[in-house]
């Protein structure tokens, strides 16, 4: 099994958030609407299906897949056997679903789960988390080490284009994998470790899926000592990097968990503004609608304090607003 870069060496120094002026954010209520009124506990992994004109996402905590029509606010849920970390549409139909112990395919909504690749090494402490497909149709899926006392989370690449699974370990030495994405020109790849408050980047060669020249893309300020939710101005804490998506201009949009915002970066790491949200815990953005100019964001309400939920009643809802720059379309999983 090939290992691209465990980034086990000391990361290069980069300025933390406090060393840079924070751009003004849009008001948190600027145009946000809910896709459906029913909140998820822990929404994640949204994608817009261009053929079905539906938005898909997962509720990890409830062990559910969700799909909804934003035009009617109608939704469907599907209970699955274990936590669904991430999902992707399959080119020849159906869904690819990363459950706790492996990657599965469902040919129809609610249909039988066909195992594609099993990961028995996950056991009871590791499960899949954030992931999506690259432009070649390979499924990249990161894991989370649930005790969070060791850096045992990794990033896998699963290639089924030949009809047989080719599984490659691409990165490791993390605690909670998130933020996997590729630049609009397919020359940069990103991956984040949420508890470490860091986003990693590599030069990316799309044909062979090779990662080169690892670097720390951005390191955020850690949570202040003694911090608790609900402090004025969030106690100076601006959140930690969760899921991400990229628009057609190449801007990386990162959900800042407990920061109530999306942080935007140019491909060279320059901050490109932020978008405020009416919730504390966004988890992952994506772009959709027929023109890809609707920005969707999944959010979390799991284990949040009652005062916060009272103050942010949309917590857990999947949110939507119109934007000027379209996003990139979802990549489909290819099975030979």
Catalytic sites, residue numbers = 242
Angle at alpha carbon of residue 322, lines to 268 and 299, rounded to 5° = 75
Say if residue 24 is exposed, middle or buried (CB neighbours under 10 Å; 0-12, 13-18, 19+): exposed
Label each residue of 297-312 as H, E or C: EEEECCCCCHHHHHHC
SS3 state of residue 20 = coil
Q: Which residues contact 225 (CB under 8 A, 6 or more apart)?
A: none
Say how many C-beta atoms besides its own lie within 10 A of residue 38's C-beta.
15
Question: How many helices, marked H, and strands, marked E, lie in the chain?
Answer: 1, 26
> Would you say the C-alpha torsion 271, 276, 282, 284 has a positive or negative sign?
negative
Rg of the Cα atoms in the chain: 18
How many CB atoms are closer than 10 A to CB 51?
8
CA-to-CA distance for 157 and 47, rounded, in angstroms?
19
- Residue of 25, 48, 41 lying closest to 320 (CA atoms): 48
Q: What is the DSSP string of 136-185?
A: TSPEEEEEEETT-SS--EEEEEEEBTTSS-EEEEEEEEESBEEEEEE-TT
């Amino acid at each position: 099994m090939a290992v691209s870069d465990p980034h086990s060496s000391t990361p290069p120094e980069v300025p933390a958030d406090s060393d840079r002026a924070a751009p003004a954010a849009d008001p948190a209520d600027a145009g946000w609407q809910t896709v459906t009124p029913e909140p998820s506990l822990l929404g994640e992994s949204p994608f817009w299906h261009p053929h079905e004109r539906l938005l898909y996402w997962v509720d990890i905590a409830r062990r559910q897949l969700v799909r909804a029509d934003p035009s009617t606010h109608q939704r469907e849920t599907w209970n699955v056997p274990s936590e669904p970390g991430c999902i992707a549409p399959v080119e020849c139909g159906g869904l690819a679903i990363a459950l706790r112990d492996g990657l599965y395919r469902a040919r129809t909504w609610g249909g039988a789960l066909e195992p594609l690749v099993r990961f028995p090494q996950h056991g009871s402490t590791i499960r899949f988390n954030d992931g999506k497909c690259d432009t070649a149709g390979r499924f990249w899926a990161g894991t989370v080490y649930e005790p969070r006392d060791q850096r045992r989370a990794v990033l896998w690449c699963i290639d089924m284009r030949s009809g047989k699974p080719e599984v490659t370990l691409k990165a490791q030495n993390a605690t909670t994998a998130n933020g996997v994405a590729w630049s609009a020109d397919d020359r940069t790849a990103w991956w984040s470790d949420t508890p470490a408050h860091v986003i990693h980047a590599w030069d990316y060669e799309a044909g062979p899926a090779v990662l080169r020249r690892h670097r720390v893309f951005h390191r955020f300020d850690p949570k202040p000592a003694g911090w608790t939710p609900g402090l004025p101005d969030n106690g100076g804490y601006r959140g930690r990097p969760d899921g991400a998506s990229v628009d057609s201009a190449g801007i990386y949009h990162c959900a800042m968990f407990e920061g109530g915002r999306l942080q935007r970066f140019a491909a060279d790491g320059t901050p490109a503004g932020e978008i405020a949200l009416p919730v504390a815990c966004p988890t992952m953005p994506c772009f959709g609608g027929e023109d890809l100019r609707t920005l969707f964001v999944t959010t979390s309400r799991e284990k949040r304090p009652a005062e916060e939920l009272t103050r942010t009643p949309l917590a857990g809802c999947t949110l939507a607003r119109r934007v000027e720059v379209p996003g990139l379309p979802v990549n489909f999983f290819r099975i030979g």
